[in-house]
Amino acid sequence: MNPIEGRGIPYSVFRTPYLYQISSGLLLVLAFPAVGWGFLAWVALIPLLASVHHAQNKSQAFGFGLITGIIFYGGSMHWMTHVTTVGWLLLAIMESVYIGVFALLVYFGMKSKVPVALKVLWIALAWTVTEFLRSEMPVFGFGWNSLANSQAPYVPFIQFANVLGAYGLGFLIVLVNASVLYAWFRRKEWKTTLGLIAVVALVLAGLWSYGKMNLEKPFEPKEYLRISVVQGNIPQSVKWELMAKDKILEIYEKLTQLAALEESDLIIWPEAAFPGFFNSDLQAARITQLARQVQTPLLVGGLHWVSEREVYNSAYFLEKDGGVIQRYDKLRLVPFGEYVPFKFLLGWLAPAAEALGISDFSSGKDSIVFRWARDEWPFGVLICFEDVFTDLSRHLADRDAKFLTVITNDAWFGKTAAPFQHLQSSVFRAVENGVAVVRAANTGVSAFISHQGRVLATVKDARGEETFVMAQRTLDLPLVTVRTLYRQGGWMFPYFAIGLFLMLSFVIFRRRIVREKQRAEEI
């Protein structure tokens, strides 16, 4: 251990080290809704990094990260207990493994004999690599509450996402955390300290300046599209009850008629708003008739039945004459929620899963850009948590979608932080791709988001409540599209980070091998 770097951390870190990891976990929880103090993210990792610096071995470092991860994910995603307590525990543990791996990688970087600048860079890259794997890994990828999402309330700061995306902003947040830590460790080396403080100042000032400049750019919408979203507020306990079907359809019919009175160009229903198989249920005729009655195109969430083994979670686009012109089938299904993965190994769990209410949907084949009478304004659809995955939104924007819609049902999770955390993902997809995003949620948050990440309006009641209210909202959405730097190549940042991290790994471990060889020769 470098004695200079070790100064400033109280001796109690050795006696009560868990206080540091718990502190980091709690700070991260507070940075996200329900509290939403996003500014805490810029210092939240410092206690964890300090304890990893003093870890006695790599196993201890991994354990420190695991503790922070369990506190963070267990606390911020406690809403999952409304569905399954066991699933919540398993998810918190699984997600915390990535924080453990991050802490382990940090341990190796901190113990290496390289300049402080490389250590700081190593820590930020380690976070980017592990967060990218956590979010994008096939089947088990779950990018909920990515570090950058905590900054969604600070519109100027999130503008940087149109350059390097959420991963790039997350990289800078961790860079600041690491710089502050080492500025404290090396505070008696004034040149090093000043350099690290300068890094922090440049990052924060740069983000603010770029954001303000981006927001002040004049733009003239080519057109305003009058869009309505309807929020039925159907309790999950009755959503699929046969006796409730008529009442559910009546609610959506009335909300749609209200929206039509405001001369909407498009009316959007939430995920699975139609309580049945839209393509085979006789009640679907009510919806096609409704479209003809209001003379307005409808986007309707509903299930699509092909056979006992082939059922899709879909979005139907109906023209104003009631005809279904396009359908999108959800691509990214929720593991152990909408299907049982690895059926060749876990197929025996299917009966138990069905008993627990786990659906067995088929995955769609391709993303769809909906083209309609408004030829100049095609749009893309994301269902449920698909807005968490950066590539789905980018592919739609690259295929000329002028705005995105997210239809979802977060009623599963009760009156918790889940809908507000979900909203943050949509905000970042808007900024990254330079397109507006419209959300229609069964119980909220239903919202209109500009291409700059501003939440322009939400569905709410007279008390200002945005979730678990039955209402509709119409807005003239300014249709502005920007081909952002993110779409032109900035989306590759995490791959660049992985490459740079591997190069630094080679440098660090090569130095370690040379040093050990020299020691052996001396002996």
Q: Which residues are catalytic?
A: 271, 330, 384
Q: 316 forms bridges with which residues in the sheet?
A: 300, 327
Hey, is 365 helix, strand or coil? Answer: coil
CA distance 98 to 118: 22
* Alpha-helix runs per DSSP H in 235-300: 245-261, 284-294
- Residue 20 CB contacts under 8 Å (≥ 6 apart), including other chains: 13, 47, 48, 50, 51, 64
Catalogue the long-range contacts made by 454-457 (C-beta closer than 8 Å, 24 or more residues apart). Answer: 454/155, 455/423, 455/427
Q: Encoding tokens for residue 1?
A: 């251990």
Question: Which residue type sits at 73?
Answer: Y
Q: Which residue's entry shows tokens 């000032």?
A: 205
- Left if phi > 0, otherwise alpha if psi is -120 to 50, otherwise beta: which for 88? alpha
E strand intervals along 308-446: 310-318, 324-329, 369-370, 379-383, 403-408, 436-441
Which string of DSSP letters, residue by residue, matches 388-419? Answer: G-HHHHHHHHHTT-SEEEEEE--GGG-SSSHH
DSSP state of 449: E
CA-derived radius of gyration, the chain: 25
Quick one: 307 exposed, middle or buried, by C-beta within 10 A (0-12, 13-18, 19+)?
Answer: exposed
Q: What are phi and psi of 303, to 5 degrees?
A: -85, 150
**Which residues are bridge partners to 305 per DSSP?**
311
Greatest extent of the chain over all pairs of C-alpha atoms, in Å: 91
Given phi > 0 = left and psi -120 to 50 = alpha, else beta, which region is 272? left
The residues, ordered by sequence, that sit 6+ positions from 356 with a Cβ below 8 Å of its Cβ are: 84
CB-count burial class (<10 Å; 0-12, 13-18, 19+) for 189? middle
